[in-house]
């Protein structure tokens, strides 16, 4: 009898588990289907559907099937039980049911009006992820990859504009959407679609901040494929990367904005506290992320030179790189900061310093690993978005609200791009043309971040309405704008097929001679940035990597003993190149020694070192599945075969 009972209990657990496997299997099949379709499309050069759009489409179909075909009612799952003895919800609950003790894990608190959603189809519930999975598992690799694969050269050339769009632009977008939505909400209350107390202005701002996170992954993929003008690509990519960080922190700050009395009235103290929160969280996350990257750089630097032979164990190196980067995320979360922002800046800093210290094998491994994780996570999220339209149980479709959001998103994007571009053009030597502005306006897609922010809290009815609306906005923008990118590029006559390196060289060559002394005319790389670059080049780079001048030449003389200790022996060989770095700063092109000497007339440069640097940069910028070729060439040519006896 006892054995029989045990047998039954094992079977029971198996049942629970096998269902989990079946659900994951559904996701796997959707992703496989997506990949196969996209292969087909890529081979025929159909560009109207990106893999994210495809994943969403298949998810949608599968959601429809699950919703209307499967029907398995779990009788007990909609009932609420009373428990008088408990004062608060413990993290683990032991319950005695017909003389068997069951352990239950705390999941979340739900509002009374959502209880109904838990009745009925158990399959739908099973297909619903825990929202925290998005923030803790799926988004970090995407964001890290964005930071790690930033094209440094072009990014720094446009840093001023990118920061303006990302910070000022996102703030403008948030406020504009908030205001417009507040107007629509007022109108809805007026015609009786909403109750007055349901929607505060802060809720509208919350919606504004989450809808301000743009995600032009579809557009950028096409840009990359067609080799669209590098400046446009960089502006858009840089903006979207930083804009995510801003939107996430903004959303967090707004959600903890808590005026003491009337939530509708403006409370100056609470407002400034929110601004303070924003700045504090942003700065803290930035510091957390970059310090982990600096630690990684130091470790890899020390091992590479002092203890030697580190590069013989690329697996250990890659493992350390991965774990330290993930720790940046976890530390920030544990400290109450924003992990996503930390991981973004960790990625940027890793690319800037650590990457140079890695062995060629590790360089490739880290890039490919994060590329792959990014690819999978992105497709899972978009696939899930498709599913969520039918499987999420508390949708509130409000046509007026959705229409309002559509209008608000457009107006907000327009009042972000056009006025800021006008202002930036006043200072930029290299103006942002009208066509680029239109293209940027058109590329304001919403994606993974907006969705993840919206699904994080779907407890109250306003939040549910926002979630539904955000989801529909993602569908609309990804399919319509994502699909329309190629026609739009043709229509706006934006040049494609640009080789980024050639572009930069040509531009540098045309400017090099006459502009040598006009180093104050350009708004980009302004004084603040100049100081940072000088500091970075003179002190940080030599300290953390093997490039740059030796510290002995940059630090004051009395620091010499320390400087000698900290400088990599290989840095002395780079001493000559210091001159041309200064030249490059003067030339206002932060190309970081990566031009080949044939194209820029540089005084006294050892060409071998420079070619090597070019190789490095090229690897850095290798992209999705197409990079790494130069690396292999370099690797094969430069390295002896060390295949055994590590």
Q: Which of residues 401-440 bind its own copies (CB under 8 A)?
A: none
**Smallest distance from its own copies to CB 330, Å:** 4
Candidates 305-313, 343-351, 466-474, 532-540: pick the segment binding its own copies (CB under 8 A).
305-313
Q: How far apart are CA 462 and CA 442, in angstroms?
A: 28
Q: How far apart are CA 165 and CA 171, in angstroms?
A: 9
Residue from 108, 521, 557, 565 touching its own copies (CB under 8 A): that is 108
Lay out the site mask for its own copies across 132-161 (x = CB under 8 A, - = otherwise): x---x-------------------------
Please tell me whether residue 104 binds its own copies under the rule CB under 8 A. Answer: yes
* Touching its own copies, residues 482-501 (CB under 8 A): 497, 499
Please tell me whether residue 579 binds its own copies under the rule CB under 8 A. Answer: no
Answer yes or no: are the C-beta atoms of 295 and 328 closer than 8 Å.
no
Residue from 140, 216, 289, 314 touching its own copies (CB under 8 A): that is 314
Please tell me whether residue 101 binds its own copies under the rule CB under 8 A. Answer: yes
Lay out the site mask for its own copies across 495-534 (x = CB under 8 A, - = otherwise): --x-x-----------------------------------
Size of the site for its own copies (CB under 8 A): 137
Side-chain half-sphere CA neighbours of 550 within 13 A: 21
Residue from 189, 298, 376, 576 touching its own copies (CB under 8 A): that is 376
Lay out the site mask for its own copies across 186-225 (x = CB under 8 A, - = otherwise): ---------------------------------------x
Residue from 10, 506, 528, 608 touching its own copies (CB under 8 A): that is 10
Closer Cβ to its own copies, 37 or 515, answer by number? 37
Closer Cβ to its own copies, 604 or 645, answer by number? 645
Q: Which of 415, 338, 406, 325 is nearest to 370 (CA)?
A: 325
Q: How far apart are CA 371 and CA 377, in angstroms?
A: 10
Lay out the site mask for its own copies across 61-80 (x = CB under 8 A, - = otherwise): -------------x-xxxxx
Q: Which of 349, 299, 14, 344 is nearest to 146 (CA)?
A: 344
Candidates 144-152, 272-280, 373-381, 388-396: pick the segment binding its own copies (CB under 8 A).
373-381
Give kind and range of the element (H or E) at residue 173: helix 170-190
Q: Which of 412, 466, 502, 516 is nearest to 168 (CA)?
A: 412
Q: How far apart are CA 58 and CA 617, in angstroms?
A: 38
Closer Cβ to its own copies, 34 or 477, answer by number? 34
Please tell me whether residue 557 binds its own copies under the rule CB under 8 A. Answer: no
Q: Which of 370, 375, 342, 372 is nearest to 358 (CA)?
A: 370
523: left (phi over 0), alpha (psi -120 to 50) or beta: alpha
**Smallest distance from its own copies to CB 29, Å:** 7
Q: How far apart are CA 362 and CA 321, in angstroms?
A: 9
Q: How far apart are CA 440 and CA 233, in angstroms?
A: 10
Per-residue burial over 147-172, b = 16 or more CB atoms within 10 Å of its CB, e = otherwise: bbbbbbbbbbbbbbbbbbbbbebbbb
Residue from 171, 242, 324, 571 touching its own copies (CB under 8 A): that is 324
* Touching its own copies, residues 23-52 (CB under 8 A): 24-25, 28-29, 31-32, 35-36, 38-40, 42-43
Residue from 69, 92, 558, 569 touching its own copies (CB under 8 A): that is 92
**Smallest distance from its own copies to CB 549, Å:** 29
Please tell me whether residue 266 binds its own copies under the rule CB under 8 A. Answer: no
* Six-digit token string for 59: 């998810």
Outline where 335-431 has alpha helix (H). 339-349, 355-357, 360-391, 399-427
Per-residue burial over 486-507, b = 16 or more CB atoms within 10 Å of its CB, e = otherwise: bebbeeeebeeebebbebbbee
Please tell me whether residue 268 binds its own copies under the rule CB under 8 A. Answer: no
Closer Cβ to its own copies, 164 or 394, answer by number? 394
Please tell me whether residue 91 binds its own copies under the rule CB under 8 A. Answer: yes
Residue from 46, 50, 125, 443 touching its own copies (CB under 8 A): that is 125
* Touching its own copies, residues 441-470 (CB under 8 A): 457, 460
Closer Cβ to its own copies, 88 or 521, answer by number? 88
**Smallest distance from its own copies to CB 611, Å:** 15
Closer Cβ to its own copies, 98 or 521, answer by number? 98
Closer Cβ to its own copies, 322 or 479, answer by number? 322
> Which residue shows structure tokens 């499309």?
41
Q: How far apart are CA 107 and CA 91, in angstroms?
A: 8
* Six-digit token string for 110: 């739900």
Largest CA distance in the chain: 95
Cα separation values, 39 from 45, 373, 376, 385, 434, Å: 10, 19, 15, 21, 35
């Amino acid at each position: 009898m006892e054995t029989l009972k045990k047998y039954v209990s094992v079977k029971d657990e198996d049942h629970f588990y096998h269902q989990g496997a079946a659900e994951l299997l559904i996701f796997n099949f959707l992703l496989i289907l997506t990949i196969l379709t996209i292969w087909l499309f890529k081979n025929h050069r159909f560009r109207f559907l990106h893999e994210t759009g495809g994943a969403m489409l298949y998810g949608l179909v599968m959601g429809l099937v699950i919703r209307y075909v499967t029907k398995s009612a779990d009788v007990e799952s909609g009932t609420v039980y009373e428990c008088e003895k408990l004062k608060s919800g413990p993290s683990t609950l032991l319950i005695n049911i017909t003389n068997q003790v069951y352990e239950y894990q705390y999941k979340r608190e739900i509002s009374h009006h959502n209880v109904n959603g838990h009745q009925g189809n158990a399959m739908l519930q099973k297909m619903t992820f825990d929202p925290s999975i998005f923030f803790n598992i799926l988004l970090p690799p995407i964001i890290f990859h964005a930071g790690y694969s930033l094209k440094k050269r072009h990014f720094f050339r446009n840093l001023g504009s990118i920061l303006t769009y990302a910070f000022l632009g996102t703030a403008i977008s948030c406020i504009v959407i908030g205001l417009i939505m507040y107007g629509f909400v007022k109108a809805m209350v007026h015609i009786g679609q909403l109750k007055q107390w349901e929607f505060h202005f802060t809720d509208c701002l919350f919606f504004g901040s989450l809808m301000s996170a743009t995600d032009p992954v579809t557009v950028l993929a096409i840009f990359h494929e067609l080799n669209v003008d590098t400046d446009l690509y960089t502006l858009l990519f840089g903006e979207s990367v930083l804009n995510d960080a801003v939107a996430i922190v903004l959303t967090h700050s707004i959600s903890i904005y808590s005026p003491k009395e009337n939530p509708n009235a403006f409370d100056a103290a609470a407002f400034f506290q929110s601004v303070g929160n924003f700045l504090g969280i942003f700065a803290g996350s930035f510091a957390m992320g970059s310090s982990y990257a600096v630690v990684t750089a130091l470790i890899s630097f020390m091992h590479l030179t002092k203890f030697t032979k580190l590069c013989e164990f690329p697996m250990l190196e890659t493992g350390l790189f991965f774990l330290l980067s993930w720790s940046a995320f976890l530390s920030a979360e544990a400290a109450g900061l924003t992990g996503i922002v930390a991981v973004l800046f960790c990625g940027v800093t890793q690319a800037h310093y650590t990457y140079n210290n890695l062995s060629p094998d590790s360089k490739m491994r880290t890039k490919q690993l994060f590329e792959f994780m990014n690819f999978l996570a992105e497709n899972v999220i978009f696939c899930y978005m498709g599913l969520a339209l039918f499987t999420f149980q508390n949708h509130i479709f409000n046509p007026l609200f959705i229409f309002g959001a559509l209008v608000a998103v457009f107006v907000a994007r327009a009042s972000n791009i056009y006025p800021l571009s006008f202002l930036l053009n006043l200072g930029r030597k290299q103006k942002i043309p009208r066509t680029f502005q239109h293209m940027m306006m058109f590329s304001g897609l919403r994606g993974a971040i907006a969705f993840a922010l919206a699904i994080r809290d779907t407890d109250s009815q306003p939040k549910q309405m926002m979630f539904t609306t955000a989801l529909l906005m993602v569908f609309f923008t990804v399919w319509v704008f994502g699909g329309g990118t190629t026609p739009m590029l043709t229509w706006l006559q934006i040049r494609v097929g640009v080789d980024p390196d050639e572009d930069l060289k040509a531009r540098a060559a045309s400017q090099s001679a006459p502009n040598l002394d006009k180093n104050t005319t350009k708004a980009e790389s302004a004084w603040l940035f100049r100081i940072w670059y000088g500091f970075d080049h003179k002190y940080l780079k030599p300290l953390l990597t093997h490039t740059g001048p030796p510290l002995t030449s940059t630090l004051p003389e009395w620091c010499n003993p320390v400087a000698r200790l900290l400088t990599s022996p290989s840095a002395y060989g780079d001493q000559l190149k210091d001159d041309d770095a200064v030249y490059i700063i003067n030339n206002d092109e932060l190309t970081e020694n990566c031009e080949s000497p044939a194209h820029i007339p540089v005084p006294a440069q050892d060409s071998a070192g420079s070619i090597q640097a070019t190789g490095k940069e090229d690897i850095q910028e290798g992209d999705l599945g197409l990079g790494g070729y130069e690396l292999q060439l370099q690797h094969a040519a430069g390295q002896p075969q060390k295949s055994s006896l590590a």
